[in-house]
Amino acid sequence: MHKNLPKLFYFISEFEKNEINNLNRNIAIIYRNYLTNHDEKKISEIKKFCKSTNRKFFLSNNIKLALKLNLDGAYIPSFNKELKINLFSRKKNFIILGSAHNLNEIRIKEKQGVKAIFLSPIFKVKKTTKELGIYKFINLTKLSNRKIIALGGINKYNLKRAMKLAIHGFAGISYFKKV
Q: What is the pLDDT of residue 120?
A: 87
Q: What is the pLDDT of residue 87?
A: 58
pLDDT digits (tens, 9 = 90+) for 76-101: 999 988 877 665 566 778 999 999 99
Phi–psi pair at 48, nearest 5 degrees:
-60, -45
Q: What is the pLDDT of residue 29?
A: 95
Domain spans, the chain = 8-178
Q: What is the pLDDT of residue 144?
A: 93
Q: What is the pLDDT of residue 178?
A: 55
Q: What is the pLDDT of residue 179?
A: 47
Mean pLDDT by 10 residues, the chain (179 residues): 77 90 91 84 95 94 92 92 68 89 94 92 77 86 92 82 84 72
Q: What is 8-178's CATH number?
A: 3.20.20.70
Q: What is the pLDDT of residue 37?
A: 79
